[in-house]
Structure 1
């Protein structure tokens, strides 16, 4: 999901990205990385914090990386994981909310996100 215009997201891309988040463990991993900020954390620390370890964590990180939600970078003997999701999450929320109340006869200003 690498688009500069948050309104330029296709249904296919949104569905693919939401599918990547369709696991409690992957969502937990992503939330942990978002909490860690731009510096990220090591894969070992990520496993400790989330309780997802080994090949299961590797599998989930691969899916999140393919969706453009996280990055991994080798630093010495460590692998540092970073949430790259900020733009993607913004695009997803905009995708969901851009047409909020569009078909309503009386649009609700409380739901005007746009």
Structure 2
């Protein structure tokens, strides 16, 4: 069975996105935003829920936004910086599962 090669760009994008999640605080922020749904949260509410505030939260949001995982939008005097890019999160999950069990039938199960 011929093994398909993962497209280099897909691998590069996925690695960059996973790197953005390589912080407990950023992962907590993203999980909070996923829970909030498509309406997102104001920066203040996000800070209250996660315990990450001020310049630290701004820094983490910038990294998550650059990775395409969150969006930031000004609404009146508030910044709704917490609307999650659900399509990107789904694409990341699909990347991980795309070749799930592809090699299972070629493995020798008699060793163990």
TM-score norm. by structure 2 comes to 0.81
Report the equivalent of 2:39. Answer: 39
Distance of 1:93 and 1:65 partners within structure 2:
18
Moved over 6 A (4+): none
Distance of 1:35 and 1:17 partners within structure 2:
19
Q: Cα distance, 1:92 vs. partner?
A: 1.2
TM-score norm. by structure 1 comes to 0.79
Q: Which has the larger radius of gyration?
A: 2
Structure 1 residues 78, 53: CA separation in 2 closer, same or farther (over 3 Å shift)?
same
Across the aligned residues of Structure 1 and Structure 2, the Cα RMSD in angstroms comes to 1.8
Report the equivalent of 1:18. Answer: 18
Contact 2:21 2:27 in 1 (8 A): yes
Contact 2:72 2:82 in 1 (8 A): yes
Distance of 1:26 and 1:61 partners within structure 2:
8
Report the equivalent of 2:57. Answer: 57
Q: Please state if 1:75 is matched with 2:58.
A: no
Report the equivalent of 2:98. Answer: 98
Q: Please state if 1:30 is matched with 2:30.
A: yes
Report the equivalent of 1:88. Answer: 88
Distance of 2:83 and 2:17 partners within structure 1:
14
Contact 2:46 2:82 in 1 (8 A): no
Q: Cα distance, 1:81 vs. partner?
A: 2.0
Count matched residues.
100
